């Protein structure tokens, strides 16, 4: 059984939207992007070469810098909660691999 090491924080932002922040126990690295590709996320090369963590899957977009422990996530739609849970599981697997 794996131990969850990712903390999710939700805060209000402008225009009645919500912002999500995921904080991990280890920094996210470029080599861990394969976990997101394998899970069906779009991982644009130009962000990666610029040192920016960026993954997208439908209406979920996650951004941050490599070697940081904080990832900002925007999500919209009726299934946002499910998308956030899926992202969190993928992130946890990636940083703890």
pLDDT > 60? residue 1: no
Q: Over the stretch 21-68, which tens digit does the pLDDT of each residue have?
A: 999 989 999 999 999 999 999 999 999 999 999 999 998 999 999 999
Neighbours of 35 (CB within 10 A): 19
CA-closest candidate to residue 52, choices 38, 40, 62, 39 = 62
CA-closest candidate to residue 41, choices 96, 87, 94 = 87
Q: How confident is the model at residue 2 (pLDDT cuts 50, 70, 90)?
A: very low
Catalogue all structural domains in the chain, each as residue range(s) with its CATH number.
6-95 (3.30.310)
């Amino acid at each position: 059984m794996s131990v969850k090491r990712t903390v999710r924080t939700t805060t209000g932002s402008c225009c009645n939207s919500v912002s999500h922040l995921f904080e991990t126990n280890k920094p996210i690295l470029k080599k861990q992007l394969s976990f997101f590709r394998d899970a069906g996320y779009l991982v644009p090369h130009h962000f990666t070469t610029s040192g920016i963590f960026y993954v997208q899957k439908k209406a979920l977009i996650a951004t941050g810098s490599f070697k940081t422990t904080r990832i900002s996530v925007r999500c919209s739609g009726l299934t946002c909660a499910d998308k956030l849970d899926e992202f969190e599981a993928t992130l946890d697997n990636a940083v703890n691999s």
